[in-house]
Amino acid sequence: MQEMQDMIDRLNQSGKRLSKGQRRIVEYIAAHYDKAVFMTASRLGECVGVSESTVVRFASAMGYEGYPQLQRAMQELVSHRLTPNQRVEMSEEIVPENAMSHVLKRDMQNLRTTLESMDNTVFEQVVERILSARSVYVMGLRSAAPLAEFMYYYLNYIFPSVRLVSSGTTDVFDEISKLEGGDVLVGISFPRYSTRTLEAMRYAKRCGAQVISITDGPMSPLTEIADLSLMAHTDMASFVDSLAAPMSVINALLVALGLRRKDALREHFSKLEALWDTYEIYAGESKHHG
């Protein structure tokens, strides 16, 4: 019951009391969140026993411009509760022969939504915080691990002190034990959010470090801890997390940082090219010595 009330409080931007019919809609969403938040207004009204126009008015009463905006907020709110089995059930409408076009279109929509909602001022602030950091720690666990590894790999070309925090042979707290003020921790996590990542971010804050999150939306628990947050939409098509938009945001961040450190980056790559050439790192570029 308390969880349902929390949902009402977080969704109800208007702060107004809800009518009996409106509460029936919220109660249905709370009881069947895995399916309800992906329904059209017409379908939701049919399941609750109210008209489509009632659902649309419900969205307005909650303080949203329309039902699509409310639906997006609901999806963000409950996405971390979806189990892999529930995600599989969500994809039952996808015909296997159409899987590629369905997923690519969903990824394109995620990219479009991310671009439209990106706060450029926050993005520039994130760039400045990382540029001024003594050391940069990048953390991403489970499905976010590839994102963290990608970011870590390229940050190493730009900065002298970068550390990857992962669930390897040591505990994550062993890896951030030297973190202190002047450092930056970038925490990356998407539904279902990693509690270990949240704990590490809280620890970093206590150490006086700057904390940046890369997550899916303002209702993510990472945003409550982070000093700055970059949002990347990850509306999933099935049990597989959609990482297209998060990867693109990280790519943009790396490019922006590289442009600000262009001279140092050019010098570093010149040294690396000499090493790569000497030790024939890349195929097709070997030297024939007589």
- Which residues, in sequence order, are CB contacts of 105 under 8 Å at separation 6+? none
Rounded to a whole number of angstroms, the distance between the first and last alpha carbons of the chain is: 80
Yes or no: say if 234 and 245 are a contact pair by the CB < 8 Å rule.
yes
Evaluate whether 221 touches 245 at the Cβ level (below 8 Å). Answer: no
CB-based contacts of 208, cutoff 8 Å, min separation 6: 180, 181, 182
At 248 the pLDDT is 97
Q: What is the mean pLDDT of residues 273-283?
A: 76
Q: Which one has a higher pLDDT value, 219 or 161?
A: 161
Q: Mind listing the pLDDT tens digit for each residue in 30-57? A: 778 767 877 888 989 999 998 898 899 8
pLDDT tens digits, one per residue of 85-131: 565 555 556 666 777 887 888 889 889 989 999 999 999 999 999 99
Contacts of 67 (CB under 8 A, 6+ apart): 41, 55, 56, 59
With cut-offs at 50, 70 and 90, classify the pLDDT of residue 204.
very high
Cα separation, 161 vs 246, whole angstroms: 23
Task: Supply the DSSP symbol for 220.
Answer: S
